Structure 1
Amino acid sequence: MLLLTEDQIQLFGSWWPAASVAGRGTSEGRSERTSDTLIIFVPGFTGHARVAAVRRLVVRLRRRADVFVIELRGHGRSGGLSAMGGPEVADVAAAVEWARRKGYPRVVTVGFSFGAAVALCHAAVRGGVDAVAAVSTPSRWFVRDTPSMRAVHVLIESLPGRLVARTFFKVRLAPITLAVPPSPLELMPAIAPTPVLLVHGLIDHYFPIEHPLALAAAAGDNATVWLEPDFAHAENRLPVRLADRLGRWLLEPGTP
């Protein structure tokens, strides 16, 4: 289905009914509410609804609630250009507004890596969600702390890298700008009292654990942190048991 952001970017979203509802298939075309909670799934950089790792997690999350996967601007079937930061907050806002129009009493967001940072910023700047979970999130934009992130910046900052991003990852990038939007770390205190969950792998090769720890310190008592020893990074490496635990928390924040 298609959404329109406030800045007139057309986005693609996939709605998945809760698997526990008898007689419902996995069609992306229907949008009747089948649970009281909608989980808005915000994929990481290069992620979208047709990526196998995203679909694998949707299968786990929809055991508990309806799921809506938003394809951020410049990604997948959505229009616009990926700005790697601030404008994507409007994309999550469009999904939340759609959910409220559909009558969902509870709307929660879960983001992964870049999508996690966007979800946190949305919760701080726009609000309107009942809980937010951030998996493998950076605390700041454009960090180069690790070899993996330095490789990502070659992809987004060089002309050959941008060609690779468009050709192989189907990501269309906005022109490079020196403007840096407010970071999740700066905005973190504004999320309260909305419950926040920070999930991070101890073997994350993109962002070391200083990132979630800094975010937790900025959030104070409002944040819950799970540091997972057998988890690397984002959608591609999330263990099934951790995905199920994440689903339980999204329905009942505070669940260990």
Structure 2
Amino acid sequence: MKPSRRAAARDAVAPGFVAGIRVALTLLSTALGVVLGAFTLVSLKVARDVVTPAPRRADTKIVNLDVAAQTITLSRTPDTELPGRYGLFTSGTESYVKLGSVLSQDATTVKRKLLTQVDAHSRLGADAAFSGWYYDRPEQLHLPYSSELIGSGVGPCPAWLFPAGDGDTWVVQVHGRGATRAECLRAVPVFHGSGITTLVVSYRNDGEAPRSRTGTYTLGATEWRDVDAAVGFARRHGAKRVILMGWSMGGAISLQVALGSAHRDLVAGVILESPVVDWRVVLDYQARLNHIPNSVAGIAIGALKTSWATPLTRTGGPIPFDRLDVVARAEELRHPILILHSDDDGFVPSDASHRLAEARPDLVELDSFDVARHTKLWNYDQDRWSGAITSWLRRHELAPQE
């Protein structure tokens, strides 16, 4: 019996149709693999950026330099329009200048007073970086100090020592990510005035201390050991009590010292300026700020905390985000903590600081600002900032009473 014409046509078409479907599925699978591969590569780049020390980035433009009037006009940003005293990293004949109050502003520019004398022959590049440091060298404080080396697991870490009082109480200051010791100089006078010796330290991969094998940050997971070595240095040099003070990522490092130090008995308190209390909060915020999809940010964090991605992220090991989450570990805290944080921080959101204060109201005091941005609270309102620290020191009997 002969097959019908319809059956014959079906039998003739079927092999070609099936082959076409197979080709389409293969192409679709390949395309999906390419997309997923690209997606993963982007996520890994984000992960590497988080832990890789990077040079300072320009964030403002110099629009005009008036050496006769000693003023400088900058492009307007949420930072450059802030009242107070600041610094500006520049290029050209000057590498850093101090800035005073805002003299005038319009929709796109801000004119500020120069507090560094700039002569008529000075030439500055257009690109600049606005800074809260103000002081960039220890001699600018006009206080006695010495340069020290702190032995650590990666080698000798440079430090500045500012002696004060009877030497019984020390503060160990820890700078943030992408910064150096100079970030901490603003706080030295308030402690010196309270009779407290200040040790301003460096840590691995910050550009001043030795480089680790990988050369990358671990967001506080290993850096804290260098700071713990500084606490040991303070003990050997007569300290009976040590206060830890951390700025931004230095806050995360200081909290890890407070939780894990072999010298916990010596630690008397912790002061945190614009601190990282939970890295996942910070990374989620930064992802939104930079329009990075949640899925990319999630893969990036997942890569940083797992062993399989370590050769690609170059961290030398997984980042222990759970251990770095101090809100989750709040019950382990044993020392009084003062947090100074602005709710408009713009880099490290204050959410985790608020949560830590809510979790441990018996230990944590939060002084929240509204418009001071990231690590610029001293610059914005020096009297309030210094007063908050001084009164906290006295309440906890860490400074002489008047």
Q: What TM-score comes out, normalization by structure 2 length?
A: 0.49
Q: Within the alignment, does 1:229 sit opposite 2:370 as a pair?
A: yes
Structure 1: which amino acid aligns with 2:353?
P
Which protein has the larger Cα radius of gyration, Structure 1 or Structure 2?
Answer: 2
Q: Within the alignment, does 1:37 sit opposite 2:175 as a pair?
A: no
Q: Within the alignment, does 1:133 sit opposite 2:271 as a pair?
A: yes
- Structure 1 partner of 2:191: 61
Q: Which runs of 5+ in 1 are unaligned?
A: 22-33, 154-173
Bigger shift: 111-120 or 39-48? 39-48
Deviation at 1:212, TM superposition (A): 0.5
- Identity across the alignment (%): 23
Q: Within the alignment, does 1:99 sit opposite 2:245 as a pair?
A: no
Between the aligned partners of 1:185 and 1:96, the Cα distance in structure 2 is 24
- Structure 2 partner of 1:168: none
Between the aligned partners of 2:151 and 2:392, the Cα distance in structure 1 is 26
Q: Within the alignment, does 1:4 sit opposite 2:147 as a pair?
A: no
Equivalent residue for 2:160, pick from 11, 14, 17: 14
Structure 2: which amino acid aligns with 1:106?
R
Aligned length: 216
- Structure 2 partner of 1:198: 339
Q: What TM-score comes out, normalization by structure 1 length?
A: 0.74
Between the aligned partners of 1:117 and 1:235, the Cα distance in structure 2 is 18
**Aligned Cα RMSD in Å?**
2.7
Deviation at 1:12, TM superposition (A): 1.3
Deviation at 1:67, TM superposition (A): 0.6
- Cα 1:249–1:187, aligned 2, differ >3 Å: closer, same or farther? farther
Structure 2: which amino acid aligns with 1:175?
R
Between the aligned partners of 1:15 and 1:196, the Cα distance in structure 2 is 23
CA contact (8 A) 1:146 1:205 kept: no
Q: Within the alignment, does 1:176 sit opposite 2:315 as a pair?
A: yes
Find the residue that maps to 1:78 and give its secondary structure.
coil
What are the superposed Cα offsets for residues 41-98 of structure 1, whole Å, 9 maximum, x if unpaired? Answer: 111112222x3x4323323332222110011211132102432220011012111111
Find the residue that maps to 2:193 and give its secondary structure.
coil
Structure 2: which amino acid aligns with 1:73?
R
Structure 2: which amino acid aligns with 1:69?
V
- Cα 1:99–1:237, aligned 2, differ >3 Å: closer, same or farther? same
Higher relative contact order (CA 8 A, sep 6+): 1
- Cα 1:110–1:209, aligned 2, differ >3 Å: closer, same or farther? same
Between the aligned partners of 2:385 and 2:288, the Cα distance in structure 1 is 24
Deviation at 1:149, TM superposition (A): 8.6
- Cα 1:46–1:246, aligned 2, differ >3 Å: closer, same or farther? farther
Structure 1: which amino acid aligns with 2:256?
C
